Structure 1
Amino acid sequence: LNAMASDGPDVGIVVPCVILGLSFLFGAPGNLLVIWTIVRHVKRRSHTVLLILHLAVADLLVLITLPLWIYSLAHSWVFGEPACKAIVFLINTCMYSSVFLITLMSVERFLARKKALDRLLVFLWIAAFIFSIPVILTQIVDEEKGLENCLYRQYQSDTQELVFVLLETFVGYILPFSILVICYGCLCSKITKMTFKFKQKSTILIASVVIVFAICWTPHHIGNILSLISIAVEKSYPEQAASLKNASSMMTFIAGAMVFIGSTVNPILYMFAARSFRTSLQETGIQKLLQHISSMSPGEGNREVSFVSKRQSNQTNSSMCKQVCRVAVQPC
């Protein structure tokens, strides 16, 4: 981002700062609202709502780093290399956790049941931390045109770059989204058969979260893929490899902005979905949306069916008893 500052203050500083500032202004309070609503008002949380809670936490952790990025964009990275490594490590951890959470959310809704979700969530976050370790080994503070920035990684060899980048792209993008495509491909065929209109809405809401995440993180992984291709063709086509590396470096700027935008959009999606529930639930607000999603969980549905079946059974028994009583009091 600092490299862009030489092109002029309007393009290089003002516009990116405004974008990042708006992301922080809307995204941080929005995710805080989601977290506060779930913790304070949703007492019986379904698996989906619990996953939304963790996703909001991951998005909030990404967004709270924005003031540092805005300052470094306007001036220079003055926080040192350890802080650079720590912050990028945090963002990468949240990237992995977000894609794992969204994948788990989709699988949970497709399979209609999940056990030991708390243990699975702990494992998910631990895996996100582990897969983010390469960032600590490679992230550097680089000086360009007299300004320091925290945007680039330095690899010890082409093999190290190949392994780290391939791992990030496969684990953080290709594998999870392959699962998502399969799950939602199967789920789409069932949406039209659902009898509950609002179950369709909650399903579409989660699908929207998936689509937004895909759009916002695709530039980052496109840059990774360009980097991988440049490594593969570097010996045979050095000029083309250099062009691909430059393109990958330019993707860093686009990808960085999209990451923060992605963390901002989710609470906006929830709020728009909450408005669509107003007429049926006769109340406004994200609180009713999240309570509704909890009520539409498979376990809640089973309990409701059991209650209805029991009530119908009691009504049937009561009706039979009344008929017996009538017969008993009639004279022969």
Structure 2
Amino acid sequence: MADNITMSNADVTDSLIFLCDEIFDFTTISGVFFILIFIFSVTGNGLLLCVLVLYENLKNATNLFVLNMACSDLIFTITLPFWAVSYLHQWVFGDFVCKFMTASYYVGLYSSIILLTALTVDRFITVVMHKFPNRVRRQWFAIGACVAAWIISISASVSNAVNVKVENTWNDIPICMDESPHVKLGYYLQVSLLFFHPFAIIVFCYSAILKIFFQYSNRKRHRTTVVMVLCIVAAFFICWGPYNMMIFTATWYEPIGCKAQERFEMAFSICQILAYSHCCMNPLLYMLSQKLRRHLLHLLTSKTNRNGGNPSVISTFQNLSLIGQNSTVMSEMHSKLCQTLAHV
């Protein structure tokens, strides 16, 4: 399956589990979490796609990036039920599905980080180099970046899919695993090219962006978008950072003894769950935008009206919207008042 560390060390892990009867098995917990993540991700990203397609201008560069990132999350999400079944029972889907799900896993992962980096660069160009490019050039940059992200992701995932196949463990349990002799080199390349290098680019871009915001006060029109993208970037690296570090560690560290093996397996499983949960976090972060919240509210209330929903539910949505609008107005009035007092 897509869990490369488990795949690459399957023979070592199996022998250790065979010798250590009391070792805690985290696979059942992981499988349950994968199913929960799948449900939340499909719901959140599905609603986000509906909002973008129905209410937003998809010629806008930021909206185009957000749309593609939602698709990337959904592609990654569709693999989770298969890994869940493999964890809860065994791999029962055959060799072709093993390769296809592995390819989908890596397409979702690779495209997500490439699109996130491109989105950050777009914010850098817009905020720091605000005189260049114009709207049309930004749009073409976004289209080119999205197309390149999918081409690179699909191309890179092919090699991962070719190397996986269904193998039987020592107790005749079939699993989807990678038997490539160059698997450790692949881990180093994955962590280096698709985590640390994008991380360095993103840190550089946001350092320049935040410097501009601290120096000037006339950047308010970009504030919401910049904060939203900053939260998306932070969420990505908080989720995937520990997992990538565990992948890097597992290439040279081999636990000795049952307790050490148990602690390492538990830490790896927890980091894996955290990393996979990232696909259902982006829709929540996009709701930092008041406009997207308003569109989502309109989408939900319009569906309720068409289905003959409960008027009290509709009233509740409307009251929540009114409260949010009033709080925004009060916040703006308070900010203007503070600025007026500062000038007095």
Normalization by structure 1: what TM-score? 0.69
Q: How does 1:1-332 map to 2 (within 5 A)?
A: 12-13=27-28, 15-43=29-57, 45-112=59-126, 113=133, 114=138, 115-144=140-169, 145-150=171-176, 152-156=177-181, 160-192=182-214, 193-195=216-218, 197=220, 199-229=222-252, 253-271=269-287, 273-274=288-289, 277=290, 284-286=294-296
Q: Relative to structure 1, is the Cα distance of residues 106 and 253 closer, same or farther in structure 2, using a 3 angstrom cutoff? A: same
Q: 1:23 to 1:184 in 2, by over 3 A?
A: same
- SS of 1:141's partner is strand
Aligned in 2, Cα 1:148/1:283: closer, same or farther, shift over 3 Å? closer
RMSD between aligned alpha carbons?
3.5
Distance 1:120 1:201, change over 3 A: closer
Partner residue, 1:326? none
Query: Would you say the 8 A contact 1:227–1:248 is kept in 2?
Result: no
State the match for 1:325 in structure 2: none
Counterpart code for 1:199:
H
Equivalents in 1 of 2:293, 2:26: separation in Å? Answer: 44
- Residue by residue over 1:245-266, the C-alpha shift from the partner in whole angstroms, topping out at 9 and shown as x without a partner, is 9988766534432332010111
Shift of 1:287: 7.8
Query: Following TM superposition, by how much is the alpha carbon of 1:130 offset from its aligned partner in structure 2, in angstroms?
Result: 1.9
Deviation at 1:166, TM superposition (A): 2.3
* Superposed CA offset, 1:222-255 (max 9, x none): 233224435xxxxxxx988xx9999887665344
1:38-72 CA-to-partner distances (Å, cap 9, x unmatched) read 11211354211100100000001111222222222
What is the CA–CA distance in structure 2 between the aligned matches of 1:251 and 1:132, rounded to whole Å? 26
TM-aligned CA deviation for residue 167 of structure 1: 1.9
- Return the TM-score normalized by structure 2: 0.67
Q: 1:50 to 1:287 in 2, by over 3 A?
A: farther
Residues 134 and 164 in structure 1, CA contact (< 8 A), matched pair in contact too: no
Structure 2: runs of 5+ lacking an equivalent: 7-13, 127-132, 299-344
Cα deviation for residue 82 of structure 1 reads 2.4
**Any idea what SS the aligned residue of 1:229 has?**
coil
Poorly superposed stretches of 4+, deviation over 4 Å: 1-4, 6-12, 243-252, 285-288
C-alpha displacement at 1:101, in angstroms?
Answer: 0.3
Deviation (angstroms), 1:37: 1.2
Distance 1:33 1:7, change over 3 A: farther
- In 1, Cα distance between the equivalents of 2:250 and 2:230? 30
Contact 1:31–1:60 under 8 Å retained in 2: yes
Residue 310 (structure 2) aligns with: none
Could you tell me which amino acid in structure 1 is paired with residue 72 of structure 2? Answer: A
> Which consecutive unaligned segments of at least 5 residues does structure 1 have?
231-237, 289-332
Q: How far apart are 1:128 and its partner, in Å?
A: 1.1
* Distance in 2 between residues matched to 1:223 and 1:44, nearest whole Å: 38
Report how many residues are paired: 268
* 8 Å Cα contact 1:97/1:128 also seen in 2: yes
Q: Matched residues in 2 for 1:211 and 1:18: separation?
A: 26
Deviation, 1:22, is 1.9
